[in-house]
Structure 1
Amino acid sequence: MSDEMKTEKETAAAWFRTLRDEIVASFEDLEDTLTDGPTADMPAGRFEVSETTRTADDGGDAGGGLMSVMRGGRVFEKVGVNISTVYGKLGDAAQKAMAARGVPGMDDDPRFWASGISLVAHMQNPHAPAVHMNTRMFWTPHAWWFGGGSDLNPCLEYADDTAHFHGTQKKHLDSHGAELYPALKEWADEYFYIPHRKRARGVGGIFMDDRNTGDWAKDFALTQDIGRAFLPAYVPLVEKRRGTDWSEADKNAQLVHRGLYAEYNLVYDRGTKFGLATGHDADAVLMSLPPMAKWV
């Protein structure tokens, strides 16, 4: 394996930036085109963009990214679309975690490089589903892999919304093998499960991690199609539900479901743990948390 994979790293990081730009533009368009419903008279939301940085233990540069957050929009109560490219040396705890996942040689050479996009959207309208998406590439001198996926998190479930979300993902994955979508769907069902509540946090989606078939281009193409599936899977659902009238009971159900979402992200989510353990910007790592939530 090439020691640095310089071209592959640059290609992956550029793709995550392109996907970020497409999503930000699409979400701002959803804000602009809402013409009726309970929040139509509110100002259209816009993303606030800030740079994030990661500092190495020796004080040197260790990468960073862009944090794009919209708060208080017509459609999105809070949505973050983050990209980052970070690098350096893994600390002891992270090295042990990598070793536990089967990555050899971390004690001898703990360098790493990681790039990806991470998105979480919390909606104004309880009928419009919250959503999560991320894709990423991780490299060490000993191994590389891709990971990510997307999953739908409605507080008020609609069977046709769930069917559209899953059906769109399946269409994008089928060209990579008929067996792939069922496998990644099952993985998502297992990963986005909350053991202490004995339930899933949403209606599922697709998820993969440690993807390395030995063919970088093939695995990257799959990762791209996971990203490409997101907007056509999600945007039509928002367009359908964003203007629906809601009741106080609907809003209460949304806030309680957000509490469930927060529990998962703080207790179980692998990306949250990795981001905090490696010293990345805490606000960027925790942007997935909802603006308001409640527990019963």
Structure 2
Amino acid sequence: MAADEMIEHKAQASAWFRTLRDDIVQAFENIENTQTSGPLSDQPAGTFEVSETKRTGDAGEDAGGGLMSVMRGGRVFEKVGVNISTVYGTLGERAQGAMAARKGIPGMKDDPRFWAAGISLVAHMQNPHAPAVHMNTRMFWTPHAWWFGGGSDLNPCIEYDEDTAHFHCTQKAWLDPHGEEHYPKLKEWADEYFYVPHRGRARGVGGIFMDDLCTGDWASDFTLTQDIGRAFLPAYVPLVEKRRNTDWDDGDKDTQLIHRGLYAEYNLVYDRGTKFGLETGHDANAVLMSLPPVAKWT
């Protein structure tokens, strides 16, 4: 692919992640503003605090950054972060080795330049009956390869079969126009990726996940990635609307906090995005935004 064409593709991808971020932030603030009943409805509606993030290269040079948008202590959302970033530079030796080993990319040592853009979201809820959720999509480029990745998965501490079905069915509806083979493949991938080996269980009820998407048709791969992002709000928001006023007790809250411990364990021990962000020098607060505000271990 010509260099100028890839420059344009990078700009398109980065702009899309910003658009998706803006749509999600608006939708979540709307949920906060319409929460007029329930135990926390008399407190101020939550709003996002937005701050810029910066990545500094090994020689102290500017290496990109993004926006970190975090809402804490809302009526519905206890903590939710919606981050976007566009970063670039050279990969350190540790990240080079991990990338080359995992993806089989030749030449990384000779030319370790990279560029990456994406969106990352995690929501932890006030009501234990309202499910936590994670979503991210991203584009990655090196002089040797480019690819898309990401997905979304549902993490309820109190499971409802109908909620799980809605989440999965919505994702399938958005994926099927791209080929009916995508949903079962990406669902299976998510089941494997979000498994917590030391606990012998998944961290939630699954969703969809992909990595290394590069068919050679950039436009087609980008459109699929966009639809994974577009599926998020219709898959998730109806579940929040349904559960945000459900009564809960201390036992429900205890169940939620213990499940958050499982979530934290996965993100700190296994999550590739966490490891990559810290290894490449991105803002640590943005990388660790996914952690719940409060968790518990038995």
Which residue pairs with 2:216 in the alignment? 214
How far the C-alpha of 1:36 sits from its partner, in A, is 1.4
Which runs of structure 2 are paired with 1:46-57 in the superposition (5 Å)? 46-57=47-58
Contact 1:155 1:253 in 2 (8 A): yes
Which residue pairs with 1:145 in the alignment? 147
Contact 1:83 1:117 in 2 (8 A): yes
Aligned pair partner of 1:279 in 278, 281, 291: 281
Contact 1:39 1:243 in 2 (8 A): no
Question: Distance in 1 between the 2:233 and 2:61 partners?
Answer: 37
Which residue pairs with 1:26 in the alignment? 27
How far the C-alpha of 1:185 sits from its partner, in A, is 0.2
Which runs of structure 2 are paired with 1:1-20 in the superposition (5 Å)? 1-3=1-3, 5-20=6-21
- Runs (4+) off by over 6 Å: none
Letter in 2 for 1:260: L
In the superposition, the TM-score normalised over structure 2's length comes to: 0.98
Question: Distance in 2 between the 1:212 and 1:279 partners?
Answer: 26
Which residue pairs with 1:125 in the alignment? 127
Which residue pairs with 1:91 in the alignment? 92
Which residue pairs with 1:58 in the alignment? 59
Query: Number of residue pairs matched?
Result: 296
Q: For 1:241-286, what per-residue CA distance to the aligned partner results, in whole angstroms no more than 9, with x for missing partners?
A: 0111101000000000000000000000000000000000000000
Which residue pairs with 1:68 in the alignment? 69
Q: For 1:131-156, what per-residue CA distance to the aligned partner results, in whole angstroms no more than 9, with x for missing partners?
A: 00000000000000000000000000
How far the C-alpha of 1:39 sits from its partner, in A, is 1.6
**Equivalent residue of 2:43, what SS?**
coil
**Equivalent residue of 1:146, what SS?**
strand
Which runs of structure 2 are paired with 1:121-270 in the superposition (5 Å)? 121-270=123-272
Q: CA RMSD in A?
A: 0.7
Question: Distance in 1 between the 2:74 and 2:124 partners?
Answer: 11
Question: Distance in 2 between the 1:42 and 1:192 partners?
Answer: 35
Letter in 2 for 1:275: G
Letter in 2 for 1:68: S
Question: Distance in 2 between the 1:51 and 1:63 partners?
Answer: 10
Q: For 1:96-133, what per-residue CA distance to the aligned partner results, in whole angstroms no more than 9, with x for missing partners?
A: 11211211110111000000000000000000000000
Q: Which consecutive unaligned segments of at least 5 residues does structure 2 have?
A: none
How far the C-alpha of 1:41 sits from its partner, in A, is 1.4
How far the C-alpha of 1:68 sits from its partner, in A, is 0.1
**Equivalent residue of 1:188, what SS?**
helix
Question: Distance in 2 between the 1:40 and 1:155 partners?
Answer: 22
Overall identity of the aligned pairs, in %: 80
Q: For 1:25-48, what per-residue CA distance to the aligned partner results, in whole angstroms no more than 9, with x for missing partners?
A: 000000011121222112100000
Question: Distance in 2 between the 1:79 and 1:2 partners?
Answer: 39
How far the C-alpha of 1:167 sits from its partner, in A, is 0.4
Contact 1:47 1:68 in 2 (8 A): yes
How far the C-alpha of 1:2 sits from its partner, in A, is 2.8
Question: Distance in 2 between the 1:183 and 1:141 partners?
Answer: 28
How far the C-alpha of 1:230 sits from its partner, in A, is 0.1
Contact 1:3 1:141 in 2 (8 A): no
Question: Distance in 1 between the 2:277 and 2:270 partners?
Answer: 13
Q: For 1:42-69, what per-residue CA distance to the aligned partner results, in whole angstroms no more than 9, with x for missing partners?
A: 2100000000000011111100000000
In the superposition, the TM-score normalised over structure 1's length comes to: 0.99
